[in-house]
């Protein structure tokens, strides 16, 4: 897994992150989603490493990275806090400006990084996501039924108890679909009570402080300043629930393109070559 990459533990001002880095060329930061670790990129990163220096961290609160201290507003798990980690991590490796792609929950951190640190992000790719404030403002019975976990995970204590009663049954996954090493890395994460708590805190922050940050940006008319690529899974429900994904993102950026990929939600595992091709072309030409 990740042939030619090195594994590192990097201590930053506010977090300690487990990171894979490899390749050569322009810097590219890849952010995973829930409940994955950086290992979800193991089929994509080596392809991109032919052209780019690829950095794949476990987000704070996920995998084997540190879990922030609890606070009433969940600010330690906010996307703003994780965006600071992204910039500090890339600066640690000598990169003041970089390309950035995020999937699922990682897409919210990627979006927040581009919003808060526009001088640091040269291009942005959002995979299977729309801004949190848009998802919540569009919430109806269909969304609440399909994405009920957003609201369950926002409750105190009970989500962790439910997940940890049988993490394998809760999250599923298989070595066949994910790759044996990636699956074992994933299982280690979902069986760790501290990591499960950190992952759930990401959702608690999402419904509160993260939504507030999005609302503040929207009211101020702030937008993503760099080129934006939006990709979504054709066999997932993002488009069914929200309609034209590119049009939604045009409310947040002026230079937007996008398309769907013929796969389910975990696109880096299910369609790695197609995803790598789309990302490589985008980061190469913009």
CATH of the domain at 205: 3.40.50.1820
Number of domains in the chain: 1
Residue 107 lies in a domain: yes
Q: Tell me if residue 103 is catalytic.
A: no
Tell me the pLDDT tens digit for each residue of 148-195.
Answer: 999 999 999 999 999 999 999 999 999 999 999 999 999 999 999 999
Low pLDDT (below 70) residues in the chain: 286
Q: Tell me if residue 237 is catalytic.
A: no
User: Would you call 12 helix, strand, or coil by DSSP?
Assistant: coil
What is the rounded end-to-end Cα distance, in angstroms, of the chain? 29
The residues near 194 (Cβ < 8 Å, ≥ 6 apart) are 67
The residues near 253 (Cβ < 8 Å, ≥ 6 apart) are 124, 223, 224, 225, 228
The structure tokens listed for 146 are 């399909």
Residue 151 lies in a domain: yes
Catalytic residue among 104, 116, 202, 217: 104
Give the model's pLDDT for residue 286: 58
Residue 1 lies in a domain: no
Torsional sign, CA 274, 41, 135, 238: positive
The residues near 58 (Cβ < 8 Å, ≥ 6 apart) are 17, 18, 19, 32, 37, 38, 64, 65
pTM exceeds 0.85, yes or no:
yes
Domain holding 196, by residue range, is 6-285
Residue in the structure block whose two tokens are 């269909």 = 142
128 dihedral zone (left: phi>0; alpha: psi -120 to 50; beta): left
Round to whole Å and give the CA distance between 6 and 3.
8
Q: What values do phi and psi take at 165, rounded to 5?
A: -65, -30
CB 279 within 8 A of CB 48: yes
Torsional sign, CA 78, 81, 85, 91: positive
Residue 24 lies in a domain: yes
Catalytic residue among 92, 117, 191, 265: 265
């Amino acid at each position: 897994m990740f042939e030619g990459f090195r594994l590192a533990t990097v201590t930053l001002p506010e977090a300690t992150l487990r990171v894979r880095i490899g390749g050569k060329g322009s810097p590219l930061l890849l952010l995973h989603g829930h409940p994955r670790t950086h290992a979800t990129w193991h089929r994509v990163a080596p392809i991109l490493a032919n052209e780019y220096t690829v950095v794949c961290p476990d987000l704070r609160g996920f995998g084997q990275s540190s879990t922030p201290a609890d606070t009433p507003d969940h600010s330690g798990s906010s996307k703003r806090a994780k965006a600071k980690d992204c910039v500090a991590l890339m600066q640690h490796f000598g990169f003041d400006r970089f390309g950035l792609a995020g999937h699922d929950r990682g897409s919210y951190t990627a979006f927040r990084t581009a919003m808060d640190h526009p001088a640091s992000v040269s291009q942005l790719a959002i995979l299977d996501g729309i801004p949190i404030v848009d998802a919540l403002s569009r919430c109806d019975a269909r969304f609440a039924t399909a994405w009920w976990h957003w609201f369950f995970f926002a409750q105190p204590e009970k989500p962790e108890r439910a997940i940890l009663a049988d993490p394998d049954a809760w999250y599923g996954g298989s070595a066949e679909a994910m790759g044996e090493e990636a699956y074992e890395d994933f299982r280690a994460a979902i069986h760790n009570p501290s990591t499960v708590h950190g992952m759930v805190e990401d959702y608690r922050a999402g419904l509160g402080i993260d939504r507030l940050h999005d609302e503040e940006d929207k009211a101020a008319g702030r937008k993503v300043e760099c080129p934006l690529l939006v990709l979504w899974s054709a066999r997932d429900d993002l488009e069914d629930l929200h309609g034209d994904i590119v049009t939604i993102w045009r409310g947040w950026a002026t230079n937007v393109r996008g398309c769907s990929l013929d796969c389910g939600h975990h696109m880096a595992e299910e369609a790695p070559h197609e995803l790598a091709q789309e990302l490589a072309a985008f980061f190469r030409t913009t």
